[in-house]
């Protein structure tokens, strides 16, 4: 049995080495920040609520600061796409969340409480439908027990292979977190021709 924890630890470490270069810190004009991830070279997905004030900028994992221009903002989904001045990467692959099973491993990656590139581990708990008050009226969100905190918003929720299944959104009930599913990200980018 001692071999299994070591194998899981090594596998998750390898996944994180792959994905961390595709995760950024998103700064708003108030000095606050959250997370985001590269969905294509030079295109960052994040939470729309992080874009309350200008100027917008991101910090890459290398420490380089870049200006960011919002090209798609969808408040009802709490999603935004930012364009960077140059095509940086790597982009993180998306996974269709419809293929998830209850108990599937989830990794939340972000910058909670100012700690860069922190990771929490949890499982996929299921789906929850929330009212939006907008034209969509309802939104189906992923539910996980991977802990989220301020600074995780907009960051990727990953499967065990490092594919994005959702965008970290909010904490509910203390021990459950919600994420906007990756298929909403894909649809938003296609609609906006990002």
Q: Are 178 and 169 in contact, with CB atoms under 8 Å apart?
A: yes
Token reading at 16: 């994180």
Element (H, E) at 12: helix 3-19
Catalytic site includes residue 78 = yes
Identify the active-site residue in 47, 56, 78, 118: 78
3-state SS track over 77-96 = CCEEEEECCCCCCCCCCECC
3-state SS track over 128-170 = EEEECCCCCCEEEEEEECCCCCCCCCCCEEECCCCCEEEEEEE
Identify the active-site residue in 153, 159, 168, 177: 153
Catalytic site includes residue 49 = yes
Q: Are 164 and 93 in contact, with CB atoms under 8 Å apart?
A: yes
Catalytic site includes residue 9 = no
| 71-102: burial string, b at 16+ Cβ within 10 Å, e else | ebbbeebbbbbbbbeeebeebbebbebeebee
d(CA 117, CA 21): 10
Catalytic residues, by residue number, are: 49, 78, 153
């Amino acid at each position: 049995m001692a071999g299994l924890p070591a194998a899981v630890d090594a596998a998750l470490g390898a996944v994180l080495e792959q994905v961390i270069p595709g995760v950024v810190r998103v700064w708003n004009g108030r000095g606050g920040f959250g997370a985001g991830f590269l969905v294509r070279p030079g295109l960052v997905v994040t939470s729309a609520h992080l874009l309350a004030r200008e100027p917008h900028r991101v910090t890459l994992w290398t420490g380089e600061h870049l200006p960011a221009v919002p090209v798609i903002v969808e408040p009802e989904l709490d999603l935004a796409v930012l364009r960077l001045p140059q095509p940086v990467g790597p982009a993180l692959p998306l996974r269709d969340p419809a293929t998830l099973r209850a108990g599937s491993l989830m990794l939340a990656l972000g910058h909670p409480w100012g700690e860069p590139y922190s990771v929490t581990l949890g499982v996929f708990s299921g789906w929850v439908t929330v009212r939006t008050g907008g034209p969509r009226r309802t939104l189906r969100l992923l539910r996980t027990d991977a802990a989220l905190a301020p600074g995780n918003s907009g960051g990727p929720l990953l499967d065990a292979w490092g594919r994005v299944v959702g965008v970290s959104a909010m904490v509910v009930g203390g021990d459950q977190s919600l994420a906007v599913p990756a298929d909403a990200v894909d649809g938003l980018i296609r609609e906006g021709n990002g």
